[in-house]
Chain A
Amino acid sequence: MTNSHGRWEGGVAATALLASLGLVSGNGTLLLAAAIPLVYVAYGGASSVSPPTDLRAVRRIDSSPTAPGRPVTVELELTNEGERPIADLRVVDGVPDSLAVVEGTPRGGYTLDPDDSTSVAYTVIPHRGEYDFSAPTVRVRGAVGSATTTTAVEAEGDVTLRCALDAGAPPLTDQGTGLVGTLTADTPGRGIEFHSTREYRHGDSASRIDWRQYAKRGTLTTVNYARQLATTVVLVLDARESTRVVAGPGHPTGAELSAYAATRALTNLLRGGHDVAVAVLGLDGAGPAGLSWLPPGTGSEQRRLAIDVFRAAVDAAPVAVGHEKQVQKVVELAPAGAQLALFTPALDDGPVTAVESWSAFDHPLVVCSPDVVAANTVGGQLDQVRRRARLARCQAMGARTIDWRRGTPLQVVLEQAFAASARAGDGAGTLATNGGGH
């Protein structure tokens, strides 16, 4: 579409004014000066422009699929493959409406010589879903800027950005590690990691004798290995109304980030051979007391079912259900000795109430809290203080609390949450041992 913009009506008026004054006053200078605006008017009127058929656009999205809340850089490269320069090129990339640009801009204005390239780079923060980029809109103007043509240029390269809860958490392989679990207990037993040595007793396996010690000192000692345990972990997702807030425009909600953390934890635990159950607070599910409940299980099928539960929880609208009833139902359904891991942004006292209820029972507790509070305002700072006070109260009640702050890799957070908790307290009392060996 080619348009001609009337920027020079004033020039016509100026010409008329100068010519009239020159005629009336008999001033030749004014008559000559009247030609000057006319030159600009004529140059603008003679300006022409053709559609940019030799313009090539390539879009690159630096990571797709990506996790919710992770910044993604999009770069649109434009190359003039023609033989004529493009004097005035303006471009706007087709960013989907639901994606918020948090850094940079998808717009640009350039002058491109033949074979010259330029690029537009910007950063977006997606939440769960698929985002299709439309073709960039390009406007070319003539040298004097009066005539323009606007068209869409199909971009090669990436056109879709996918954001999923299980991004960065590859599916389980069919063959596991062969171990029952990878959580270690304080008491020694059969395993592969060295724990301690003791005096040889009749009946100990020859493969466990420390022959090097025998060669040095002539005494027989038996090696103890760190006992590998399998546990049952109940991942509890807080999907109540209070968690459906965002840290900024276009950012994922607290419920979505919690679901993402729970998905990563689910994958890690299932890969380690543990049994994992899933519960969702704040929805009207099919389980008892409206709880969305997936019984303990293991394997790829369990992972698929659990991720479906998390997705449904993120997409569903929260319901005003009895929070205390659902919390109580979680501990009733959880197997004895199972670890309860609550994923919540802790924006109200609901998680504190839950931890308080659960701490009365013999379950190791973990609270993993993604930080969705914008602390760049006075109100945000107050909310942040309140949130940390809630986490401190949970910790005081015996829960292992992990504050997942922005910028901290989630893997580090999950390792902290689940690796150390098995070492806390008496391993025999708090962990379910499935026995077995490697």
Chain B
Amino acid sequence: MAIGGPRLDRPSGVGEEGRPRSTSQTIAAVVAVAVCVAVLGVLGAMQALSFVGLAIALFVPGMALLTRESIGEQVVGNLLYHAGAVLVVVALYLVGRGPLGVVVSGLFVALFGVAATWSNVLERDRLEEATRSAATSYVSILGWVVAIVAASALAVAGWNVVQTVLRASEPTTSLFGVLAVIVVTGLLVRGATWALPVGALAPRDRRESLVQMSTWAGQVGSVVAALAFFAIVVAGALGQTRIEAFATNTPAVGSSLTVLTSPPVVVPLAVLAAVCGVGTAFGYGARKLAGQLDAGDYDVIASVLAGFVFAVFLVGTVILPLAAISPFLPVLVGFALVIPVVAIVFGLLGVAAIDGGVVPPRAAGPALGACGLLLSGVGTALVGQPAPLTFACVAGAMVVWDCSTFGLGLTVELGHRPDTRRLELYHGVLSVGLGVAVVLVATGLSHLRAVTGGVASAWPAVGLAVLGAVLLAVAARRREG
């Protein structure tokens, strides 16, 4: 049982590498968050934490859920992934600018690394699977946005036609208008009865009667559409003059046209046409999708479903209201749709980095966490923030790396079943204690440097001494190996 935090990975038996043991991972996460809070608190930028935290809290679980098997989990995963990707990029853009950009970006990378380690989403196969699912759902989102916008345009156009018919004063316009509505409605009824699986959806005891009714409705729709089309042809052949003369001289015809073009007749026909149109589109689309996919292609189905939900949200709450304000604003939204591509590209780069050995295959998360804190440390030093902040960031990076890799080693050797909490706490306390001691000593030396003042010329020598020590350490380790 983890000390704290949810589990989004699925460790199984003995020896599965998965994520580090939970106690070690908790210590690393606590240290990383503590350093983040400390740095942002000193910088007076705590609001960045909530924004960055929200983005990571959506994006990382989304990545984790994309590797699950059930459709529901994958749909939610796709939605979280894309929403989180947009927030991540926007967050990086907003908080990563300016003189503190390096610091906050580093903290962001560190928190992402810790979260990714916790849910094991940076494991090579899982990263590839999540990126592939995200790419599929992104294509689905684009497709659905186009389809919804087109359908909306069609609906608006249809409504304009209905309005024209309702407001028509000339008999010719009324006649052609109502006949056109009848033709379209009849055809769409026929299409809906063909596309929708009425028999499969109906209750068993009423299946036969409903199928018969559906067949009859389709036939009626076809006949009515054909008759209306014939009437259009005939009316076209007669010409406008004869029609108007006929309507004027025969009051019954005129009143019939008036009735036929009245709202109680036209509006229900239009609504019926709209409903049947939507039904036809969905029925046909679902049939094509089900026919082309194997039983195991749940990720594609989930991508299509998630794309639809996301597109409806995007169109309904963002694009259409913006279009009402200005036609150029949806173009900006279009650019926003490019943002998930950035996350997908980074995912692909991550896979390539793991394959190329740039990132350690099992420890990608801890490496990111440590590098992020290191980057923050460099940033705080470069912008002249208090030295203890820099030391805390660097020491925090070492503790995160140490505890995470220690926990990973435990997972590899012992699996997830044995209770190793005491062992991990012992190691974690040692590591954190060493970090605290080193920070205190470094702070003391820094203070001493500040007190002694103008011996700045000595620092290059110090730097060279440090580099020399590094080279010696590398050489000594190689000799041991």
Q: Which residues of A contact B (CB under 8 A)?
A: 4-7, 10-12, 14-23, 25-43, 45, 87-88, 90, 92, 104-105, 107-111, 120, 139, 143-145
Per-residue A-contact encoding for B338-375, CB less than 8 Å = 1, 0 else: 00000000000000000000000000000100100010
- Cβ-defined partner of B417 (8 Å) among A20, A30, A107: A107
Given contacts A39-B434, A43-B434, A31 and B410 within 8 Å (CB-CB): no
Question: Within the assembled complex, what's the spacing in Å between the Cα atoms of A107 and B474?
Answer: 35
Given contacts A32-B446, A34-B466, A38-B469, A110 and B422 within 8 Å (CB-CB): yes
Chain A CB within 8 A of B415 CB: yes
Given contacts A33-B442, A36-B442, A111 and B422 within 8 Å (CB-CB): yes
Closest CB in chain B relative to A116 CB, distance in Å: 11
Per-residue A-contact encoding for B424-443, CB less than 8 Å = 1, 0 else: 00110011001100110010
Provide 22 A-B residue pairs closer than 8 Å at the C-beta atoms, listed in order of the A residue. A12-B470, A14-B398, A18-B394, A20-B467, A26-B456, A31-B463, A32-B445, A33-B390, A33-B442, A35-B438, A36-B394, A36-B442, A37-B397, A88-B423, A88-B427, A104-B417, A105-B415, A107-B415, A108-B414, A110-B422, A144-B402, A144-B431
- Cβ-defined partner of B381 (8 Å) among A15, A30, A43, A92: A30
Closest CB in chain A relative to B28 CB, distance in Å: 14
- Cβ-defined partner of B449 (8 Å) among A16, A28, A37, A108: A28
- Cβ-defined partner of B477 (8 Å) among A6, A19, A37: A6
Q: Are A22 and B463 in contact (CB under 8 A)?
A: yes
Chain A CB within 8 A of B460 CB: yes
Q: Are B467 and A16 in contact (CB under 8 A)?
A: yes
- Cβ-defined partner of B398 (8 Å) among A37, A42, A111: A37
Q: Are B405 and A12 in contact (CB under 8 A)?
A: no
Q: Are B480 and A4 in contact (CB under 8 A)?
A: yes
Closest CB in chain B relative to A118 CB, distance in Å: 9
Per-residue A-contact encoding for B451-468, CB less than 8 Å = 1, 0 else: 000001001101110110
Considering the complex, which residues of chain B in the window 379-396 have a beta carbon less than 8 Å from any beta carbon of chain A? 381-382, 387, 390-391, 394-395
Q: Are B476 and A45 in contact (CB under 8 A)?
A: yes
Central interface residue in A17, A33, A105, by most chain B CB within 10 Å: A33
Central interface residue in A7, A39, A90, A109, by most chain B CB within 10 Å: A109
Q: Are A36 and B438 in contact (CB under 8 A)?
A: yes
Across-interface contacts of B459 in A (CB, < 8 A): 22, 26, 28, 31
Closest CB in chain A relative to B165 CB, distance in Å: 58
Question: Within the assembled complex, what's the spacing in Å between the Cα atoms of A108 and B419?
Answer: 7
Central interface residue in B381, B382, B387, B415, by most chain A CB within 10 Å: B381
Q: Are B390 and A29 in contact (CB under 8 A)?
A: yes
Across-interface contacts of B430 in A (CB, < 8 A): 143-144
Question: Within the assembled complex, what's the spacing in Å between the Cα atoms of A42 and B382?
Answer: 27
Across-interface contacts of A105 in B (CB, < 8 A): 14, 414-415, 417-418
Given contacts A107-B415, A109-B420, A10 and B477 within 8 Å (CB-CB): no
Question: Within the assembled complex, what's the spacing in Å between the Cα atoms of A27 and B401?
Answer: 25
Given contacts A26-B456, A36-B398, A40-B434, A16 and B406 within 8 Å (CB-CB): no
With both beta carbons as reference points, the residue of chain B lying nearest to A89 in the complex is identified as B423
Central interface residue in B374, B418, B480, by most chain A CB within 10 Å: B418
Closest CB in chain A relative to B470 CB, distance in Å: 5
Q: Are A27 and B382 in contact (CB under 8 A)?
A: yes
Closest CB in chain A relative to B27 CB, distance in Å: 14
Question: Within the assembled complex, what's the spacing in Å between the Cα atoms of A425 and B464?
Answer: 104
Closest CB in chain A relative to B53 CB, distance in Å: 26
Contacts beyond the supplied A31-B463, A92-B414, A143-B427: 9 A-B pairs with Cβ under 8 Å: A14-B397, A17-B374, A19-B463, A19-B466, A36-B438, A37-B394, A45-B477, A88-B426, A144-B402
Question: Within the assembled complex, what's the spacing in Å between the Cα atoms of A111 and B426?
Answer: 8
Q: Are B402 and A40 in contact (CB under 8 A)?
A: yes
Question: Within the assembled complex, what's the spacing in Å between the Cα atoms of A23 and B374?
Answer: 17
Given contacts A31-B462, A32-B446, A107-B414, A38 and B398 within 8 Å (CB-CB): no
Q: Are A14 and B473 in contact (CB under 8 A)?
A: no
- Cβ-defined partner of A32 (8 Å) among B410, B442, B456: B442
With both beta carbons as reference points, the residue of chain A lying nearest to B405 in the complex is identified as A7
Across-interface contacts of B254 in A (CB, < 8 A): none
Closest CB in chain A relative to B162 CB, distance in Å: 53
Q: Are A29 and B426 in contact (CB under 8 A)?
A: no
Question: Within the assembled complex, what's the spacing in Å between the Cα atoms of A14 and B399?
Answer: 13
Question: Within the assembled complex, what's the spacing in Å between the Cα atoms of A36 and B401?
Answer: 13
Across-interface contacts of B398 in A (CB, < 8 A): 11, 14, 36-37, 40
Question: Within the assembled complex, what's the spacing in Å between the Cα atoms of A4 and B479?
Answer: 12
- Cβ-defined partner of B423 (8 Å) among A16, A17, A34, A110: A110
Question: Within the assembled complex, what's the spacing in Å between the Cα atoms of A31 and B417?
Answer: 43
Given contacts A15-B466, A33-B442, A36-B398, A145 and B427 within 8 Å (CB-CB): yes
Closest CB in chain A relative to B141 CB, distance in Å: 37
Complex A-B, nearest 3 residue pairs according to Cβ-Cβ distance, in ascending order: A109-B420, A105-B417, A23-B463
Q: Are B462 and A29 in contact (CB under 8 A)?
A: no
Closest CB in chain B relative to A142 CB, distance in Å: 10
Across-interface contacts of A38 in B (CB, < 8 A): 466, 469-470, 473
Q: Are A90 and B467 in contact (CB under 8 A)?
A: no
With both beta carbons as reference points, the residue of chain B lying nearest to A14 in the complex is identified as B374
Question: Within the assembled complex, what's the spacing in Å between the Cα atoms of A6 and B414?
Answer: 20
Across-interface contacts of A35 in B (CB, < 8 A): 438, 442, 466
Closest CB in chain A relative to B152 CB, distance in Å: 45
Question: Within the assembled complex, what's the spacing in Å between the Cα atoms of A35 and B391?
Answer: 10
Closest CB in chain B relative to A150 CB, distance in Å: 10
Question: Within the assembled complex, what's the spacing in Å between the Cα atoms of A18 and B60?
Answer: 30
Chain A CB within 8 A of B221 CB: no
Closest CB in chain A relative to B452 CB, distance in Å: 11
Closest CB in chain B relative to A107 CB, distance in Å: 5
Across-interface contacts of A42 in B (CB, < 8 A): 473
Question: Within the assembled complex, what's the spacing in Å between the Cα atoms of A88 and B415?
Answer: 16
Q: Are A12 and B422 in contact (CB under 8 A)?
A: no
Closest CB in chain A relative to B350 CB, distance in Å: 18
Q: Are B367 and A109 in contact (CB under 8 A)?
A: no
Question: Within the assembled complex, what's the spacing in Å between the Cα atoms of A33 and B438?
Answer: 9
Considering the complex, which residues of chain B in the window 54-104 have a beta carbon less than 8 Å from any beta carbon of chain A? none
Across-interface contacts of B415 in A (CB, < 8 A): 105, 107
Central interface residue in A35, A92, A108, by most chain B CB within 10 Å: A35
Across-interface contacts of A6 in B (CB, < 8 A): 477, 481
Given contacts A18-B394, A45-B476, A10 and B370 within 8 Å (CB-CB): yes
Closest CB in chain A relative to B394 CB, distance in Å: 5
Per-residue A-contact encoding for B302-321, CB less than 8 Å = 1, 0 else: 00000000000000000000
Across-interface contacts of B481 in A (CB, < 8 A): 4, 6
With both beta carbons as reference points, the residue of chain A lying nearest to B380 in the complex is identified as A29
Chain A CB within 8 A of B279 CB: no
Given contacts A41-B473, A109-B414, A31 and B466 within 8 Å (CB-CB): yes
Closest CB in chain B relative to A14 CB, distance in Å: 6
Q: Are A107 and B14 in contact (CB under 8 A)?
A: yes
Q: Are B409 and A145 in contact (CB under 8 A)?
A: yes
Question: Within the assembled complex, what's the spacing in Å between the Cα atoms of A206 and B260?
Answer: 119
Across-interface contacts of A145 in B (CB, < 8 A): 402, 406, 409, 427
Q: Are B395 and A36 in contact (CB under 8 A)?
A: yes
Given contacts A45-B476, A108-B414, A109-B418, A10 and B401 within 8 Å (CB-CB): yes
Question: Within the assembled complex, what's the spacing in Å between the Cα atoms of A90 and B422?
Answer: 12
Question: Within the assembled complex, what's the spacing in Å between the Cα atoms of A172 and B431?
Answer: 65
Question: Within the assembled complex, what's the spacing in Å between the Cα atoms of A379 and B300?
Answer: 28
Closest CB in chain B relative to A182 CB, distance in Å: 49
Closest CB in chain B relative to A105 CB, distance in Å: 4
Chain A CB within 8 A of B378 CB: yes
Across-interface contacts of B480 in A (CB, < 8 A): 4
- Cβ-defined partner of A109 (8 Å) among B378, B390, B410, B445: B410
Question: Within the assembled complex, what's the spacing in Å between the Cα atoms of A30 and B410?
Answer: 33
Q: Are B470 and A15 in contact (CB under 8 A)?
A: yes
Question: Within the assembled complex, what's the spacing in Å between the Cα atoms of A35 and B463?
Answer: 10
Question: Within the assembled complex, what's the spacing in Å between the Cα atoms of A410 and B423?
Answer: 44
Q: Are A109 and B423 in contact (CB under 8 A)?
A: yes
Across-interface contacts of B422 in A (CB, < 8 A): 110-111
- Cβ-defined partner of A33 (8 Å) among B381, B414, B464, B474: B381
